[in-house]
Amino acid sequence: MATNITWHPSLSRTERESYRKQKGFTIWFTGLSASGKSTVATALEQHLLHLGLAAYRLDGDNVRFGLNKDLGFSEKDRNENIRRIAEVSKLFADSATIAITSFISPYRADRQVARELHEKSAQGDDKSLAFVEVYVDIPIEVAEQRDPKGLYKKARAGEIKDFTGISAPYEAPENAELSIKTHENSVEECVAQIVKYLQEKDLIQISA
């Protein structure tokens, strides 16, 4: 662990939100591989940007090309993967940006650590609004039927170890803010469901 370091404070999140005229928070998508997380997250990012809101998506595959390219898929590496993403998304939220993360993030404990990190950093009366967990809830049979990358097939054949849902566990959220079903609703309907929630919680404001 690093020593002899000092945190240098900057503008508060409240000040940044005032200047940027929007709130900063994180929308954390979790679910099985091929559940539709990235598809919905991408559509949501585009929708929010079209509304004039600053939003940025962090995708599970994309970050492994750079920030987390040194990590594998063991439980220890998965824990570290989520820890780093939680820290990065918190910084986005602190900057008054809407961070959108799309990660399997299979362990409840890791997602709870991410939540607590955001709540600790948040300001105002309702710190729970700093972290919005969205569970992309589909049966594993549907995910396997989709299997766009052929990963389930490889996992079933023993070619991929520690594959979530097959040879490694997925711990579904127990109290997610939202649950969406991409096998029952279109991408547009899922985005609308999320946007409605954000409006109801006064996390975003949409001009008429």
Q: Which residues are catalytic?
A: 105
Q: Which residues pair with 145 in a beta bridge?
A: none
CA dihedral 139, 161, 152, 64 (to 10 degrees): 90
Task: List, in order, residues 6 or more apart from 18 with CB less than 8 Å away.
Answer: none
DSSP 172: -
DSSP 174: S
Give the span between the Cα atoms of 34 and 22, in whole angstroms: 32
Give the span between the Cα atoms of 138 and 28, in whole angstroms: 17
